[in-house]
Structure 1
Amino acid sequence: TSGAWGPASSYYENKHPEPAKLFSGGLSSVQLLPNDNILILSGSSGYAFELTPKNDIVWEYIVPLKNGNQVNQGSTISINDNTTFRMYRYPNDFEAFDGKDLTPKGFIELNPDINYCNKLVKTENDFQKNNTNIYPNPSSDIITIESLIDINAHISDINNKQILTFQLNVGKNEIDITRLPNGLYFITTRDGLVKAFNVIR
């Protein structure tokens, strides 16, 4: 027989807003996440990103290495400078993490800009539909979350380690973050990533 195997057309197609960024002559990986988003790695450029079913970018990351050596934040990295075989996201309850200290140990890149990670692409979620407001950001001891609905939420660190779970009630909710070390954190509801905030003292 000749011709292409079925199906005649794709059931689902992912498209990066800038298609050239998704190209890689080899390596690379794709992972379907529990929230129906897709984690994609373009291996020849060490470029990873999470894409929603609507093709919105949730976050993106470039491996900050050049020929295996650290580079400064914002450095230009060419194709094949930071070739990465694959990237995989593990859930918080992954058995191999039991009894392990997953506290962040710092940054991979040199001279990091800790405020750079606040530049997140917005996607529709419970907080946006709810017109939820979070302040101050950055914060040092208390964050205030104003909510129009009752909803469960939690705070996790940059390694997706869940740190604090709480119930948001209608109105102002004050969350004590004095136990959190300096760094970037995420407030998440049942449908995924919603807000990022910094702890700076």
Structure 2
Amino acid sequence: MIGIIRYGAGNIFSLTAALDRLDIPYGMIYAEADMDQYDRFIIPGVGHAGTAMDKLMASGLVPAIKTQNKPTLGICVGMQLLTSYSEEGNSDLLGIFPIKTLKFTADPEHKVPHTGWNRVFPQKENPLFKDIPKGSHFYFVHSYFIEYDDVYTLAATDYSTKFSASIWQDNFYGVQFHPEKSGNYGEILLKNFSKI
């Protein structure tokens, strides 16, 4: 069963609606004691990474998140929180991935935030992207991106620069896009995560 980390910085209605449609069982985690009930976790997130990190710290869940070994998926800002640092608010984050979250540079062809559908290209074999063809479209809304890295990037996207659409290390996964708003392939990804 999936435990959704509730720390006050995630709009989870679309996520829970998608999990309901897929008959994937889930519950809410508000404290470390709640984590034992679940075999995998999702960290949602919207808005400002620095503010989200402050709320996550205030929740008291940070040590438990960093030391657990169950499959964990960060979505959007939830993925950015897994990195070491964000230019948004000059913020130190969880540091699970030793890579940075950077701000897009706007230009006439690339407005910021990056909003809408974009193609995602898995760079490695991984069960998270099982049955999802390279170049499938997913839905993005973000002004900051995680730098591309040969070690940690699981899937890449281009928008003014090549960046990490998904990252992976051990039991930790992240997706910059919103699978819960990405139609059929987003639902496949959520199903895949529920079986990892």
> Could you state the TM-score of these two structures normalised by the residue count of structure 1?
0.26
User: Which gives a bigger RCO, structure 1 or 2 (Cα 8 Å, sep 6+)?
Assistant: 2
Which structure has the larger Rg over C-alpha atoms? 1
